[in-house]
Amino acid sequence: MRPNKRDELVRKALDVFYRNGFHATGMDRLVAETGVSKTSMYKHFKTKDDLILAALQLRDELFRTWFCQRMEELSDTPRGQLLAVFDVLEEWFAKPEFRGCMFIKASAEFQEHNNPIHQQSANHKRLLLEHLRNVANRAGAADPETLASQFMLLKEGAIITAVMGFGENPAKNAKSAAQTLLKTACP
């Protein structure tokens, strides 16, 4: 099925926002880089924030689907899938287009907790945490909530470390710490 103009605009805007940031991307830049006129943009989205929300929703769907599928493809056991989180990160970090987490960026640019963009970014992280909690539960963790939270901290820290260029292999370092946590949490 061929994407409609709105979907095409959201996909193109997603790339522009990811590359350049949200506040730094004005409507003129969006017009220039997407090839969509301002009139057409405003036909589909009343404000730039509405377009940002649509782009974040698409990014959430694409990223979570890819991330969770890769975890399952890399291991057929829940314990292995938890550790695969960091193998998936390593794959992501190696991609030439890697520029960090769009949701971390969005929450940094829209810091008010009641801002819909901030809320959508936080929801992305909550959904990933929920997935990790479900996998930790299937892995037999005594406290799946705590283990999932610890894995999220390691995951998020690895992302920031990779973006900032610290350390030789942040994903591998985080995986090493995760292995220790997993041994304790799932005897």
- The whole-number pLDDT of residue 122 equals 97
Instruction: Convert the pLDDT of each residue in 49-72 to its tens digit.
Output: 999 999 999 999 999 999 999 999
Cβ pair 78, 166 in contact under 8 A: no
List helix spans (H) across the chain: 5-20, 27-34, 38-44, 48-74, 78-94, 102-109, 116-138, 144-164, 170-185
Instruction: Catalogue all structural domains in the chain, each as residue range(s) with its CATH number.
Output: 57-185 (1.10.357.10)
- Helices 48-74, 78-94: inter-axial angle, 10-degree rounding: 130
Cβ pair 142, 185 in contact under 8 A: yes
Query: Model pTM greater than 0.85?
Result: yes
Instruction: Convert the pLDDT of each residue in 127-170 to its tens digit.
Output: 999 999 999 999 999 999 999 999 999 999 999 999 999 888 99
- The whole-number pLDDT of residue 1 equals 45
What span, in angstroms and rounded, lies between the C-alpha atoms of 182 and 77?
13
Confidence grade of residue 3 (pLDDT, cut at 50, 70, 90): low
- Residue 12 above 90 pLDDT? yes
Instruction: Convert the pLDDT of each residue in 77-89 to its tens digit.
Output: 999 999 999 999 9
- The whole-number pLDDT of residue 2 equals 52
Average pLDDT over residues 123-129: 98
- The whole-number pLDDT of residue 166 equals 86
Confidence grade of residue 5 (pLDDT, cut at 50, 70, 90): confident
Per-chain mean pLDDT for the chain: 94
